[in-house]
Amino acid sequence: MRALVFTGPGSVELCDVPEPDPGPGEILVNVHAAGICGSELHGARHPGFRKPPLIMGHEFAGTTAGGGAVVVNPILSCGQCGLCQRGLRHICRERQIIGVHRAGGFAERVAVPAAAVRPLPPGLPWETAALIEPAANAVHAWNRARGALGADGARGAQVAVIGCGAIGLLCTAMALSGGAGRVDVSDLSPARLAAGQRLGAGASGPSLASEYDVVFDAVGSAATRAASVAHQRPGGVAIWLGLADEEPGFDANALVRSENRVLGSFAYTDGEFAAAMALVREWDLTWAVGYPLASGAAVFTELMNGRLDPVKAVLQP
């Protein structure tokens, strides 16, 4: 079969690879749509967790051998530890991720544990189904903010989102759906800012100019992390989702003096993944564009090297 393979630092290639051989408890999924994630673009350029050769792709949907439409929750966990027993298997110390630790969805077919498969709602377009996984990250991030502010504090909250990539746009949509009073977005790209405004965002520009109850950093650079702290109101919270740099970048003393907070947000619970399936129908996702798998190497490479359009590329094997 054909697959887009991460072959070395900064290199992906469309290759002929052996058919996947499902093991015990696994099923075969015929992939219909697989989103390219920013973490994959960064991971291909700077190999770390992802080690070549690897078929990446953790945001994907397709059909089973029986023809059922499914989406795959790529997070695998031990199921036995205290975290898993508390419903927090996304931060299980033994977790693995399909497309990171084992072959993923940038292929015509992929073998996955049967427990990772979720039936899709009827009539959901494949390109939309491929955005369920990143949308679940946004659901989780909003829940982290609600947990920090309290349900009453989150209702009507003034929110900012730094970075209008897919995760930032989905955080914008989620905050508005979740009851935020206003969501401002910042990005260097006018086209990406326009996508945020189509979702209902307010003032936008290359940087933030106000104070907020919640600031989502969907970039993850030292500069954006510093901005996420600097633009909190006293008692506010920053939610960090971006993983671009390792450096924190923020003023620790200012954090103390204003009782500000920084919370990491990684992945999602099973319940949040299910919630995302219901929400994606409601949002403007026209910033996601489909491409045939045959074009995957060129599209991936261009995005990895700085191309900004489209915001989200979805490969279609």
Least confident of 193-207, 212-226, 239-253: 239-253
Fold of 134-264: Rossmann fold (3.40.50)
Burial class (CB in 10 A: 0-12, 13-18, 19+), 80: exposed
In angstroms, the CA 31 to CA 217 distance is: 31
Q: Give the residues across from 5 on adjacent strands.
A: 13
Sequence spans of domains, the chain: 2-131+285-316, 134-264
In angstroms, the CA 280 to CA 173 distance is: 9
Which residues, including other chains, have CB under 8 Å from residue 98's CB and lie 6 or more apart? 58, 72, 74, 76, 104, 105, 110, 112, 116
Strands (E), 36-181: 59-63, 69-72, 75-76, 96-97, 109-113, 117-119, 158-162
Q: Count CB neighbours of 152 within 10 A.
A: 9
Which of 1.10.10.10, 3.50.50.60, 3.90.180.10, 3.40.640.10 is the CATH number of 2-131+285-316?
3.90.180.10
- What is the β-pairing status of strands 288-292 and 312-316? parallel
Residue 39 confidence class, pLDDT cut points 50, 70, 90: very high
pLDDT at 49: 83
Burial 217-236 (b: 16+ CB within 10 A, else e): bbbbbeebbbbbbbbbeeeb
Summarize pLDDT for 126-156 with one digit per residue, the tens. 999 999 999 999 999 999 999 999 878 889 9
In angstroms, the CA 285 to CA 262 distance is: 29
Summarize pLDDT for 154-195 with one digit per residue, the tens. 899 999 999 999 999 999 999 999 999 999 999 999 999 999
In angstroms, the CA 307 to CA 192 distance is: 12
Is residue 254's pLDDT more than 90?
no
Do 2-131+285-316 and 134-264 have matching folds?
Answer: no
**Residue 121 preceded by cis peptide, ω within 30:** no
In angstroms, the CA 317 to CA 314 distance is: 10
